[in-house]
Amino acid sequence: MSVKRLQAAVFIGALLLAAWPGLVPAPKSDFDFSAFARLPVLEGGRVKPIDSFARSALLSIRSKQSVRFDGKTISATKWLLDSAFKPDYADTYPAFVVDDPEVLGLLGLPQGKSRYFPYWQIEPKRDEVQNQAAAADKIESGRRTRFQTALLNLNSRLTLYERIKNTFMVSGQGDPVMELAAFSALMPVAMRAFHSAKPTDKDIRTMKALSEMLQTYKFLAQAGAFKALPPREGAAADDWTNIGEALSDPMSAQTPHPGLASFALMGRAYRAGDAAAFNAALAEHAGWVARYRPEAARAARAETLFNDCAPFISGMALYLTALLLVFAAWAARREDVAAAARALAWAAFLVHTLGLLARTVLQGRPPVTNLYSSAVFVGWASALLGLVAERIHRKGFAVAGAAAIGFSTLLIAHHLSATGDTMEMMRAVLDSNFWLATHVVAITIGYSSTYLAGLLGIAWVVRRHIMVKPDPEASRALSSLAYGVIAFSLLFSFVGTVLGGIWADQSWGRFWGWDPKENGALLIVLWNALILHARWGGFVRERGIMLMAVFGNIIVSLSWFGVNMLGIGLHSYGFMDAAFWWLSAFTASQLALIALGYLPPRFWIEREAR
Amino acid sequence: MRRADPLARLIDALSSLKLTILCLALLMALVVACTLAQVNLGIHLAVERYIRSFIVWWSPAGSALRLPIFPGGGMVGGILLLNLIFAQFRKLELSWRKGGLWIVHIGLALLFIGEFATALFQVESNMAIEEGQTKGFSEDYRRMEVVVVDETDKVFNDEIGIPDSLLKTRAEITDAALPFTLRVREYHDNAALTMRGAAAPSIVTAGIGAGMSFEPQHPVTADGEQNTAVAVIEPVLKDGKSLGVYLLSNALGAPQGFSLEGREWKLALRLRQYRHPFSLTLKDFRHDVYPGTDIPKNFSSLVRLQDAAAGDDREVLIYMNSPLRHGGLTFYQASFGKNDTLSVLQVVRNPAWTLPYLSCLLVSLGLLWHFGVMLRKSLGERVA
């Protein structure tokens, strides 16, 4: 009974801990940053809160979702506001992470002390970076040197930052309110001058002034990082505009977009440090959005809450704690600790599930749409499988496997998220919820279960070497679990692969094209089939199955990530160089484990005894 | 115990599980090799070499030697199919318990047969239509043909197409409808065409080709690359009189030809055309993007399908993941051009296209059945 109570306490405590960031009110501040973070904007083809844009922009610039400056942590939204309205100040934030020694050499920056550099330190070499990047851009992506890749990457981050600086006003120059007023006053006069048959000198001066202003707005229209102004009343739902577009729009001459005045007021107040005026203008704009574009406001609010809760980060922490608890339970041989570990793993899984559901609802898509979400889903499905398997064999292996895969896939997902918006829009051919929900989900479950089987194999190998007393019953339990998981994996990877073939038949006109990604999926099917046939034929026994399951880890990883590294084929939608090293290291580690499995159990201790 | 009867031993070997495992392992090796080879060879050639072949050949660099080094996908797949069938009938009893495996294996056999049938019978071509244009034929990507056209009648032309496979194997081509024989002097899958210097000699005597020379080259295979095929053709009358030697190429646009007994004949080399008994008219092509981005959201072609024989005259919208199936052909949205006024449809004839659907269904059901039975057994043991 007390174990039950302990489990309940651990479970609820973990959930409360995970929900904490969403429950606590935002830290007190004069400026209403959280309301600004919730404002909807259009970027990357979808409506999202400024919060999401700021986080993913900062993540790609700095690899973190916040900036440390002067011993304080600055949120992504505040960083964005500073960049947009007080760029001179934002230029001093150490926001750019630069690691490559050759790039640092080019910038003339010191190596070693800090990885983070402020914009003003990079600015003197900005043209040089631009020219070098233009040269590197002409080279095919697979053939670039590390320096060229790093430089292109830096250039695109600098460009992103410069676009943010020019989203609401030109690099923080002038007073936006005065300018808007001047423009509104000038417009009718200039229009009259334009239509007059005999323009006077004054008319010509007016027209010239207007054309200069329009030039500036055209520049803003080009440079703006996102579209902050929702469609006006009666306009199509897609008709978002940025500040520059709204100002250079002829319709703006008669009735300017109401958001223009609000953002101008916000800009002036923010620059002047006038929190009350800023909050008032912000409330005015938020109210307008809520009245005329309620669906955008609602979606942005929900997504901000999701960002604040960061369920995958807290899930990651909970999985790791659960894993450590399982180890502790094994070491101390305490059933109550094992029970607590199980409860904690279930809590982690629940947080993971809620996060996954929230993403699915927010995006209006099945759970897997890109490499990032595939990692989240692989972890989820493995964790579920592991937790269910634990109910069949209560030895702690399956729950340890669930926690380990849950933790590592969420960690992988976290690193993948640095490449940009994780809810990016689907390219035309992928735009099919039916196939995303069937083929992609089935394949991903196939990945998950193959990993779980591989992890059970690893547990088997490790136990063989560290257990003092051989425990054949536990070994058998492990291998029968692994066998069941492999069978499950064969079912899903086969169904997923063939469904993929059918999708390909629907969209590309061939069932099977031997494209790298298809081949990767086929390899998983063949390998699982091979393991099962080898077992049915009696060619391999317990050890053989477990070691083959470990090799399955390599095959899934190559199919999941390695294929993207080839950079060819119809499916190469997630190219990445950086992961190559990790993939090689992982493969080597798995091969080492297989070799370890072939050595006699506890071989080093026997030698000591001799 | 070894069986003396060689046939029985062969059947034993063919139905053994060891053979299954060997074939699965070989197939994995082939798939890996084919994937890696795509980086350099392009997908088409890599598949031809490793998968759609009986034996994988290897030529040491700089030698004409061709060494068989590995069984190709055709051989491994074929043996696996035989193995599947033999093992099925020799090893598995027909029982409810094994019913799942029976269904799985039947499904797999269908999948293999489907892939073989696709390799043999699938014909792929392209149909590029501009808005407002009507087309009743599609063009192959790679295969060429020489056409002889009787253009005497300005309204109805008679065309005779000669596929490149014939041009490569025959020296002379005759047709009952032609008052002359075509002598094939040369044919190259790919060549570089240049203007000929005045001094250089040429066997070409007639048409614009007389001013040109060509250098044969290795055919290109990568996706999106196009070969420049060259044929040197000499029409010869029954009495042996030559009508001139012509150089034909798909890179030469201008028509070449001659008059003979009051009839106008034209010669050309072009991508092979497949005539269809119906026509498509492109009414509208759309290329939608997500707002504020260049990310494509959808491509779609609104076409009018006219098929007098089938009594069809209707509008069809072809878009991503939604092809048009008509008359044994499937039309997919493949590409576009000319500022979004040209739509390229991929046209596929694959009589075996339904087999994978059936196979997927069978294997899924079979695996569910089998693993369900196993799970029940395993849980039952634990309870007992």
pLDDT at B42 over 80: no
Instruction: DSSP for A182-196, please give it.
Output: HHHHHHHHHHHHHH-
**Number of neighbouring beta carbons within 10 Å of residue A414:** 17
Tally the C-alpha atoms within 13 A of residue B156's C-alpha that lie toward its C-beta: 0
The pair of structure tokens assigned to A260 is 């223009």
Judge contact between B330 and B122, C-beta under 8 A. no
Q: How confident is the model at residue A356 (pLDDT cuts 50, 70, 90)?
A: very high
pLDDT-above-90 percentage for chain A: 36
**Mean pLDDT of the B353-364 span:** 87
Contact call for B17 and A238, based on CB within 8 A: no
pLDDT of residue A287: 93
pLDDT digits (tens, 9 = 90+) for A271-291: 999 999 999 999 999 999 999
Contact call for A240 and B291, based on CB within 8 A: yes
pLDDT at A319 over 60: yes
pLDDT of residue B52: 84
The domain spans of chain B are 6-121+355-383, 126-135+277-347, 137-274
pLDDT digits (tens, 9 = 90+) for A180-230: 888 888 887 887 777 777 778 888 888 888 888 888 888 888 888 999 999
pLDDT digits (tens, 9 = 90+) for A461-477: 888 887 777 778 888 88
B127 in contact with chain A, both atoms CB, cutoff 8 A: no
Contact call for A45 and B115, based on CB within 8 A: no
The pair of structure tokens assigned to A273 is 């440090």
> B321, B330, B361, B364: which to substitute to probe chain A, counting the most A Cβ within 10 Å?
B321
- Collapsed DSSP state (helix, strand, coil) of residue A17: helix
Q: Which has more confidence, A255 or B81?
A: B81
Give the nearest partner residue to A526 out of B24, B115, B320, using CB atoms: B24
Q: Which has more confidence, A262 or B384?
A: A262
Contact call for A431 and B298, based on CB within 8 A: yes
* Helix spans in A422-541 (H): 433-435, 441-466, 472-507, 516-536
Q: Which has more confidence, A436 or B103?
A: B103
B382 in contact with chain A, both atoms CB, cutoff 8 A: yes
Among residues B283, B324, B335, B286, which one has the least CA distance to residue B304?
B283
Distances (CA, A) of B102 to A96, A489, B99, B262, B363: 61, 19, 5, 69, 9
pLDDT of residue A572: 42
Cβ-based burial of A48 (10 A; exposed 0-12, middle 13-18, buried ≥19):
buried
Minimal C-alpha gap between A224 and chain B (Å):
11
pLDDT of residue A570: 46
Q: How confident is the model at residue A575 (pLDDT cuts 50, 70, 90)?
A: very low
Determine the Cα–Cα distance for residues B294 and A430; give it in Å rounded to an integer: 16
**Mean pLDDT of the A474-503 span:** 87
A431 backbone dihedrals φ, ψ, rounded to 5°: -75, 70
Q: How confident is the model at residue A141 (pLDDT cuts 50, 70, 90)?
A: low
Nearest chain A residue (CA) to B112 = A512
Q: How confident is the model at residue B360 (pLDDT cuts 50, 70, 90)?
A: confident
Contact call for A42 and B291, based on CB within 8 A: yes
**Mean pLDDT of the B277-293 span:** 88
Distances (CA, A) of B282 to B34, B133, B276, B340: 38, 6, 16, 12
B17 in contact with chain A, both atoms CB, cutoff 8 A: yes
* Helix spans in A39-195 (H): 50-62, 76-85, 87-90, 101-107, 119-122, 126-137, 146-165, 176-195
> B35, B52, B335: which to substitute to probe chain A, counting the most A Cβ within 10 Å?
B35
Euclidean distance between the first and the last CA atom of chain B, given in angstroms as a whole number:
39
pLDDT of residue A142: 62
Cβ contacts below 8 Å, chain A against chain B, sum to 159
Q: Which residues from B are below 8 Å from A498, CB to CB?
A: 111, 356, 359-360, 363
Beta strands B230-237 and B180-188: pairing type? antiparallel
pLDDT digits (tens, 9 = 90+) for A579-588: 777 888 899 9
Q: How confident is the model at residue B260 (pLDDT cuts 50, 70, 90)?
A: confident
pLDDT-above-70 percentage for chain B: 95
Q: Which residues from B are below 8 Å from A503, CB to CB?
A: 321
Euclidean distance between the first and the last CA atom of chain A, given in angstroms as a whole number:
48
Judge contact between B272 and B144, C-beta under 8 A. yes
pLDDT of residue A606: 55
B291 in contact with chain A, both atoms CB, cutoff 8 A: yes
pLDDT digits (tens, 9 = 90+) for A412-432: 888 888 777 777 777 766 767
Determine the Cα–Cα distance for residues A490 and B368; give it in Å rounded to an integer: 11
pLDDT at A594 over 70: yes
**Mean pLDDT of the A32-45 span:** 91
Among residues B268, B319, B322, which one has the least CA distance to residue B296?
B319
The interface residues of chain B toward chain A in range 199-228, judged by CB-CB distance below 8 A, are none
pLDDT of residue A83: 93
pLDDT of residue A550: 95
**Mean pLDDT of the A37-65 span:** 90
B383 in contact with chain A, both atoms CB, cutoff 8 A: no
pLDDT of residue A609: 45
Cβ-based burial of A517 (10 A; exposed 0-12, middle 13-18, buried ≥19):
buried
Judge contact between A433 and A535, C-beta under 8 A. no
Minimal C-alpha gap between B111 and chain A (Å):
9
Specify the range with the lowest mean pLDDT, choosing from A121-125, A425-429, B183-187, B256-260. Answer: A425-429
pLDDT at B337 over 80: yes
Residue-averaged pLDDT of chain A: 86
B289 in contact with chain A, both atoms CB, cutoff 8 A: yes
pLDDT at A560 over 90: no
pLDDT of residue A610: 42
pLDDT of residue A573: 40
